[in-house]
Amino acid sequence: MTITKIETRHKSFAGSNTMKYLLLLVALFFIGCSTIQSIPTETIQKLPIVRVGDPAPQGDEYIVYYPTGYLFTLELQTKGSLFASKKKIQTKIALDKELYLYKYWASHDGISWKNSHELLDVSFEGGFDISGLAVHITLEKKE
């Protein structure tokens, strides 16, 4: 069996705030300059915490919280000239460990913060074979 592997890069999807926060999580890992910024601990401590899927507070500054076991939406969209039609698939997923996200920063307890790429490892890959097209998303903790 021959499998053609395709590596993908993050692009913004139009859609719900939940999906935007999930994609924010992914985007955090592709920003290399965050390693040279110091953690804004005082700023983070003053921000409101919003559970994924809840309405965003007024203003652009808040922490997104993913509780352990809480089901939130994962959305996959197809688009491009090779697809006969655009499709959107949604499912519910949950994390096995709580996660807090603010810009380039991530935490498992809301107290100790690290650059997100130091705390989490995200990868996307996919490929075609005789059964069709498979897309895989991997999210691992680095601790």
Asked whether the beta carbons of 17 and 56 are under 8 A apart, the reply is yes
In the predicted structure, residue 15 carries a pLDDT above the cut 70: no
Q: Residue 1 and residue 25: Cα distance in Å, rounded?
A: 34
What is the Cα–Cα distance from 132 to 74, expressed in whole angstroms? 21
Please report, for residues 21, 74, 100, 109, the alpha-carbon distance to residue 97 in angstroms, rounded to integers and kept in the order given: 17, 17, 10, 9
63-102 tens-digit pLDDT: 999 999 999 999 999 999 999 999 999 999 999 999 999 9
Q: What is the pLDDT of residue 107?
A: 96
The pLDDT assigned to 12 comes to 39
Question: What pLDDT score does 29 carry?
Answer: 52
- Tens digit of each residue's pLDDT (9 = 90 or more) over 34-51: 455 788 889 999 999 999
49 in Cβ contact with 65 (< 8 Å): yes
Tell me whether residue 120 is exposed, middle or buried, using C-beta atoms within 10 angstroms of its C-beta: 0 to 12, 13 to 18, 19 or more.
buried
Q: What is the pLDDT of residue 10?
A: 42
**Does residue 128 have a pLDDT over 90?**
yes
Q: Is pLDDT above 70 for 124?
A: yes
